[in-house]
Structure formats: structure tokens, C-alpha cells
Amino acid sequence: MAPTRLDEAAGLTVADVIHAKFSALPASATIGDVREWFAASSHRQMAFLADGERYTGSIFRDELGDDLDPAGPAAEIAVDGPTVAPDEPASRAEELALRTEARRVPVVDRDGRLVGTVAVTPDLQRFCGT
């Protein structure tokens, strides 16, 4: 399926535009673990932390300053939102994703499970991975 254009997403839900292939780091990850995860790909802009399937927070690449102890817990710098639910309008996910440099927002279901991400392409024309 071709990526969905933002201007063609009226009436779609987050579930229609979700990028379900993603990775999350364990909630117990260290700052060093997150740095290594970001270093593995220049495309990674936001790391998700999860306790099993339960979303515990997000970390943006640019939040990992050199002054942070690599052995320190990543959870201490993680933010717990915003998030979007699969049944919300795709336009809501677009709005939240575009509020950040990462152009991403984690998708968390009503039970707190991390089920994917919504990401907007660098040209701001499409949802990634849909």
C-alpha cells in the first residue's frame, strides 16, 4: 500500500495510517542504551520505552546531551506524551506529530499498550509506513 497523503486522510483514523513496524527499548534502558539505539540509524528521531507492551515514555534524539551519565536510567528523561489512540482521527495524529522535530507520535491503545507510531514524511506530504 502506498503511503497515505495527508491531504487525503479526511475520515481516516490513526489505525488507518499507523506504522506498526517499530521497535521499543525496555523501560529499564540506560542513557547509553538509547544513544546506541539512535546511533544505529540516522532515521531514528524518537525512542519509545516500554515495560513489556506497556508504553512508559518517549525520548527525542536531541534530548541526549553529552552531560548525561550513560549509566543513568533513560526513563528519567523520557516524556509520557503526547500519545494518540488507534481510534482517534488521523488528523489528530498529524497535528501531534507535526508539533515535534521528530514528526512522530506514539500510538497507545486504551489499555496503555504501545501499538505503533504515526510519522509524517520529511516533505510533510504523507504518513510514513501506511
**Whole-structure pTM over 0.75, yes or no?**
yes
- Residues 74-83: pLDDT tens digits? 999 999 989 9
- The pLDDT tens digits of the residues spanning 105-128 come to 999 999 999 999 999 999 999 998
* Helical segments of the chain, H only: 14-17, 31-39, 90-97
Contact (CB, 8 A) for 92 and 34: no
